[in-house]
Chain A
Amino acid sequence: MSHALLIVLALHASATTASPAPGEAGGRERARAVAAIGSARSAIGQAPAGSARTEAEARLADAESLLARARYAEAAAQADGAWKLLAEARGERSHFAVAVEPDGRTRVAVREGVPVRVEAQGRTRAVRAGESLTVARGESPGTPQPETGPAEPPILISPEPGLKLALEPAPGGLGPVRFAWKPVPDASGYVLELAGPRKQTFRTTQPVMTVPGLPAGKYRWTVRAVQGDGTLGPPATRAVQLVPGRIKLEVKETPWQ
């Protein structure tokens, strides 16, 4: 049984099972604990074997035990601790896209990182990296599907990998810097992200972007295609180093004639 389904069942149970009259606040606490346990279980399902996963599993077991004893706040705290442990161990950022279609349907696509939770009509689904899910108005979330679209990341052309690029002084630092990649079929545009001495994002409709000037230093540049629904495709990343390129010629006197 998938973890996403377990979350749905758990939440469904929380909504339909008669609880021992916890009151509205108690009901909220219980729902929060169930949601936190569902998130932790989903994260554990994706985590590689290791000490972080082992510890997270132990915390999840504690959380489930506490939930069974109606100690909701403690159960939520344990489950949250398990989730946080794995999220920090992964050290990944979370990247996802949400698109609202003209007919009101919502499409969620997760590119990377920990699962994203999609709730509708009192039910929750976990959507993992590489999956997408569509929800129609007034309906529960469907089953996440493997992501479609331009599955391949853009093929980067220049600057070449690890290149040390010697450039002249230009407004904003050194430049110009020309980033180029191969066109991605069906892409409506591209997003270029620079990470380094200057962090900047550019959007362009062409598979090339020329930046007039950037401060010297080491950069990582990432390109993603913009798909037809406005969401972003998988990334391609390279490193480049910008250094001052004005070559000094130092001529020293020599004893030889």
Chain B
Amino acid sequence: MALCLPLLVCAPACRRDAQAPPAPAPKQSVRATLARMKGAVSVKRATGDEWQAAVDGTALYDDDKLRTERGGSAELHFPSGTVVVVSEDTLLGIAETRAAPGRPQADVTVLRGAVDATLDRPANQSLTVGTPAATVRAGREIVFQ
């Protein structure tokens, strides 16, 4: 019985790790959603210390990190409609966004690897990609309400 107790306690957590996306940080706006994943893709929450396997539909929040391994890839779908394809062997973070109300903006920080971004309506969207060497801004620079 004493041996069974730890197993019973562990079981729900283990099931969650294996089948569900990493638990989101509570009460935050979804910054992006993962889709079209291929190969090994993992997420580290801003509030957590461990990398966890991601699944299609995993929501990403401010300061979450995303990692693709060799042969892995994923798409980040932002609420603005912006799509960022994350190549293999890439490490990026979802940057905190301080957009004005109604201003569809997306920010990511690429620390390693490569991304490919598409803004379908650049006149009304903006995307900022930060890297260790530069800041890349696409779409509308300033949106006036």
Contacts and interface: CB of A to CB of B under 8 A. Distances in A.
Contacts of A106: 131-134, 136
A14 interface: no
Contacts of B116: 95-97, 191, 230-232
Interface stretch (A17-25, A115-123, A146-154): A115-123
Nearest to B114: A230
B135 interface: yes
Q: Number of contact residues on B: which range applies?
A: 35 or more
Given A94-B139, A108-B136, A119-B134, A203 B73 contact: yes
A76 B142 contact: yes
B120 interface: yes
Interface in B89-127: 90, 110-123, 125
A231 B114 contact: yes
B117 A93 contact: no
Contacts of A230: 87-88, 90, 113-114, 116
B16 interface: no
Contacts of A92: 122
A104 B132 contact: yes
A83 B141 contact: yes
Interface residues of A, number: 48
B118 A93 contact: yes
Contact of B113 (A39, A100, A108): A100
Given A100-B131, A106-B131, A106-B133, A94 B138 contact: yes
Given A80-B140, A88-B123, A226-B87, A97 B118 contact: no
Contacts of A207: none
29 contacts: A32-B142, A35-B141, A36-B142, A39-B141, A77-B142, A80-B140, A80-B143, A87-B122, A93-B120, A95-B117, A97-B116, A99-B87, A99-B114, A99-B115, A100-B111, A100-B113, A100-B131, A104-B133, A116-B138, A117-B137, A118-B137, A119-B136, A141-B134, A191-B85, A201-B83, A201-B85, A226-B87, A230-B90, A231-B114
Interface of B: 36, 38, 73, 75, 83, 85, 87-88, 90, 110-123, 125, 129, 131-144
Given A94-B139, A104-B132, A106-B136, 18 more contacts: A36-B141, A39-B141, A80-B142, A80-B143, A80-B144, A87-B123, A88-B123, A93-B118, A93-B119, A94-B125, A99-B87, A99-B114, A100-B112, A104-B133, A137-B132, A201-B83, A203-B36, A230-B88
Interface of A: 32, 35-36, 39, 76-77, 80, 83-84, 87-88, 92-100, 102, 104-106, 108, 113-114, 116-120, 135-139, 141, 191, 200-203, 226, 229-232
